[in-house]
Structure formats: structure tokens, C-alpha cells
A and B are shown apart, each in its own frame.
Chain A
Amino acid sequence: MEIKSVKYRIGKNYGFKVLVTIFAFACVVPLLFILFYILEQGITKINWHFLVNIPKPVGETGGGIANALIGTILIILCASVIAIPIGILAGIYLSENKKSRLAYWSRLCVDILQGVPSIVIGIVAYFWMVKPLGFSALSGSVALAIMMLPIIVRSTEETLKLLPASLQEAAFALGMPFHRVIFKVVVPVGISGILSGVMLSIARITGETAPLLFTAFGSPYLNFKVWKPMESLPHIIFTYATSANDEWKDLAWGASLILLVWVLLLNIFTKLITRKWKVQL
């Protein structure tokens, strides 16, 4: 009787372990599947020609996605220029003033902002920027910057909150003014966490399509002017994957692979930075 019940328990224990392992593995499958599929479809389309040429008109063969690559880089660059300073400074405020009323509301707003659907942010950017100024890459950048903000703010705040109070005390006791304590001590010590937040936010917005639909809009031409409509990787995938033209569908596969590799590299890079620049406390 005794032995039997123990055996039953051991069996149950074993069954549960198997179940947990299966589900852990199940999480890996979708990513592997996506990677494999995109790689299989996209790898044959990518070559030098693909990277440095712009799409050809319907009917002509060849063409590439240079306009979308340049566009994505420029749009992300502008978004970063807007979001990084604001995000880091706001994060510093939140970690320094944990209990103030402004911090409470600001934190709440940032959390809600994180949950706002990207298309809604796109609409807001549309009314702010596109209506008065016309379609432009910059309006897309503004929308993406709004999406980057919460990630940067929260990761900066969380990183700095974890730093021991004794660090700041040491700096204050040496007669440092507040801004120097922040920029010479607190930020350098927390830099790995802050940077990883920045990188993750870039990885997050790289693939955003919805807010770009009616802001950056898309353009079949190579364009460096951020106040003009501009193509971007996610948008070129959206347009070409749904087109009837097979040449264009190939472009979409190639662009998907590039986008995927980009995001993967950003994530790996983030991990490396976090490890390399981590300051041992």
C-alpha cells in the first residue's frame, strides 16, 4: 500500500517534468520555424544587387530594396534622436523622485503608453504632423519615438533604482552637484542597463508597420530627405507581399529576411553589451 502510493507519486512527478519540458520546447518551435522558413525563402533573393538597387517598375526584372534599407535606417535614427534623450532623462527623474506626484502620474502614463496600439499612435502622428505638413519620414519617426519612449524610460528607471544609494551618497559627500552625480556617477555605472533598454526599443520599433502606413507612407524612390515620404523595410514587405507580382513577392521575402536578421543581431548585440559593460558593484 505504502510502496504503491510512493510509486504513484514518483510517476506523477516524472510525468509533470516531461510536461514542463515539452512546453519549454514548444516555445522555441515557433521562432525556429519562422527563422527556417524566412531563411529558406529569402536567402536566394539576397545579393549585392538586391541591397544597392531600388525596386523596378512592374514588368521589369531585378530591383532591390536600397530605398527601404536607407529609409528604415533614417527613420530609426530620427526616432532615436528624439526618444533617447527624453527617455533617459525621464527615467532619471523617475528613479530620483520615487514618491513625487509627478513621478506617479508620469509612471502611470508611460505604462499606459506602452500598451497603446501602434496604429493609434500612428493616427496621432498623422493628425499632429501629416495633416499640417504632409507625409514625411519625420512624422513616422515621431510615431516610432513615442513607441520607444516607454521602453527607454522604464528600463532606465529600473536600472538606476537598483544601484545602491551608497553610490550617490559617496558622490554627494565629495561635494558634487546633482547633475554631476547623475552624469558622472549614476549613468556611467548603470550604462549597460540603459543601453540595453535603448537597443531593445530600437529592435521593437524596427518592425513596426502600422504607424508608418500613414506617416512615412512609402516611396518607390531612393530618398534621403526626412521631410519627404520614405520607404521602410516593414512597409515594403507589406506592400510587395500583398501584390500580385512575383518579382515583388521575392523582394518581400528578401526584405523579411533582412529585417529578421537585423532584429536578431540587435538582440544579440544587446546581450553582449549588457555583459561587457556591466559594472561590477
Chain B
Amino acid sequence: MESTIIKSRNFNASFGSNHVVKNVNIDIPRNKVVAVMGPSGCGKTTYLRCINRMHELIPGATSSGEMTINNENIYQMHPIFVRLKIGMVFQRPNPFPNLSIYDNVIAGYKLNGIKLPKAERDRVVEHSLTRVALWNEVKDSLSKKGSFLSGGQQQRLCIARAVAMEPEVLLFDEPTSALDPISTSTVEELFHELKTNYTLIIVTHNMQQAARVSDKTAFFYLGELVEYDETRIMFTAPKDSRTQNYITGRFS
């Protein structure tokens, strides 16, 4: 029996008069990997950014409808609490360039002014870097700047930074689109690891990636949620003709 962690009902989002997410109803199960796929401009990234209320940071952006985490309305919580519960990893690796690798991992504590004892900090850093399979690569250069790492390492550092805050949900906005194939597969392996503790929502352009890593897949088209089902079913027996066309490559 799977329990739902994120739930949205009749959820809409717009930029000014441009209605980009239309009436989305979705239940995200706990400790699963959910892939959100669809062609460019279908509103999938916008929807993702609505989940941790990053959408509203853009001037002119509005949203309506219900979005809950553990049955608590996200839009009635303070955005800061929302973002502490729901971590996010972006398309391009964006470690803080002025901070060391060590400080990047605990940036969520350090920059928020949360004081941790040294031993606890060390534990969080080691634990988080281990979780993203980066510890062995960087354990001797923790005081170097994060921007010295390769792109794939930087992205894993960013995942570690999100993991360090112990969120319940991790959002990934096309996390591998700026990475080479080898780094991509490393990150994809991480998803399997991470879902034991977290719920993962991954926006991707890449259908094969959705098929490889996710338990459930949602297909967005022109702002609507067209179909949402077990990944296995989505890729073998989609119910909607638009999904069928998309996964067979008739439009992209």
C-alpha cells in the first residue's frame, strides 16, 4: 500500500496571461521516483517549481488550486519551510562559487545561520557526500572551491547540498541535461539509492531516462497532464494517443 506525499488538485500556474499549467491533478507516492516528461514548453518545469514555491519568485507568476504535502497545504505554509522540506536540484550545476566543497554541502545550514557543532557538521558532510557517491572523490580536497569539480561532480555536489537538509522530497529539473553520458549514468544510479529515503520527482526531456529511472511517469502536453501511470504501463500500453505519439517519437 503506497502512501501519497504530494498531492495536487486542479492546480494551475501562469506567467501573466500565459497559462502554462492547466488543471493538474496528481498524486505522488512516497519513496518512489516519479518522472515528468513532455516536449519543451509543456509546463513540466513550471509545475515542478510550483511544488517548492520557486515559481512565485518570478515576477508576474501566479498559481491557483491545491497543492499539499502530507495533507498540509503548501501554499498556506511559509515558503521557507516548504523549501526546507522539498529540496531542489537544477538543470545546470550551481554550487556556490565562493564556498568550499565542504561549505557547499552544509550551505543550507551555514547560510541559514543554523549553528551545528563541528562533529555534527563533519557527519552531515560525510554522510551527504557518501549518499551521492562523491565522498571518495573529494574527501581529500574538501577545502577546495566547489567550482573546481567537473560538471558531473558539481551536480552531485548540488544533490548532496539538497540531501544535507534532510528534505522529504527532492525535485530534479532536468538534472542531467548539462552532463556527459558517464556523469548522467552516475546520477541516474543515485536515483535508485536516494528513493529509499526520499521521494524523487524528476523532470526530463529524455524519455529513455524516464523509462530507466522512474516508478511512475507523468506526461505533460501543452500544460495539461495527459497521462500519469506506472512507467511500465506508460511505455508499453499508453491509453492516450498523444502519449503514444510522443513515446514513439512522432513529435518531440
Question: Which A residues fall within an 8 A CB radius of B?
Answer: 99, 164, 166-167, 169-177, 180, 184-185, 188-189, 279-281
Contacts and interface: CB of A to CB of B under 8 A. Distances in A.
Contact of B94 (A99, A164, A175, A177): A164
Interface string B77-120: 00111111001101010111110000000011001110000000
Contacts of A169: 54, 57, 90, 94
Nearest to A189: B98
18 contacts: A99-B59, A166-B92, A166-B94, A170-B158, A171-B96, A172-B54, A172-B57, A174-B108, A175-B81, A175-B82, A175-B84, A175-B112, A175-B165, A184-B111, A188-B98, A189-B96, A189-B98, A280-B97
Contacts of A188: 98
Nearest to B108: A174
Closest 10 CB pairs of A and B: A175-B83, A173-B88, A175-B84, A166-B94, A174-B108, A184-B111, A170-B94, A175-B80, A279-B98, A279-B97
B162 interface: yes
Interface residues of B, number: 30
Nearest to B88: A173
Given A169-B90, A280-B145, A176 B111 contact: yes
Given A169-B54, A170-B94, A170-B158, A177 B87 contact: no
Nearest to B59: A99
Contacts of A167: 94, 96-97
A189 B94 contact: no
B147 A174 contact: no
Contacts of B81: 175
Contacts of B145: 280
B98 A174 contact: no
B205 interface: no
Contacts of A184: 111
Q: Could you tell me the dominant secondary structure of chain A's interface residues?
A: helix
Contact of B161 (A174, A177, A189, A279): A174
A176 B94 contact: no
A166 B94 CA distance: 6
Indicate the member of A170, A171, A176 with the most B CB atoms within 10 Å. A170
A175 B98 CA distance: 19
A99 B60 CA distance: 11
B198 to A, nearest CB: 15
Contacts of A185: 96, 98, 111
Given A166-B92, A185-B96, A279-B98, A173 B111 contact: no
B53 to A, nearest CB: 9
B147 A280 contact: yes
A274 to B, nearest CB: 15
Indicate the member of A99, A173, A189 with the most B CB atoms within 10 Å. A173
A150 to B, nearest CB: 26
Given A170-B90, A175-B79, 15 more contacts: A170-B96, A170-B161, A172-B57, A173-B54, A174-B83, A174-B112, A175-B83, A175-B108, A175-B112, A175-B165, A177-B80, A180-B111, A180-B112, A279-B97, A281-B97
Contacts of A173: 52, 54, 83, 87-88, 90, 162
A167 B147 CA distance: 12
A180 B79 CA distance: 14
B48 to A, nearest CB: 11
Indicate the member of A167, A170, A174 with the most B CB atoms within 10 Å. A174
A189 B111 contact: no
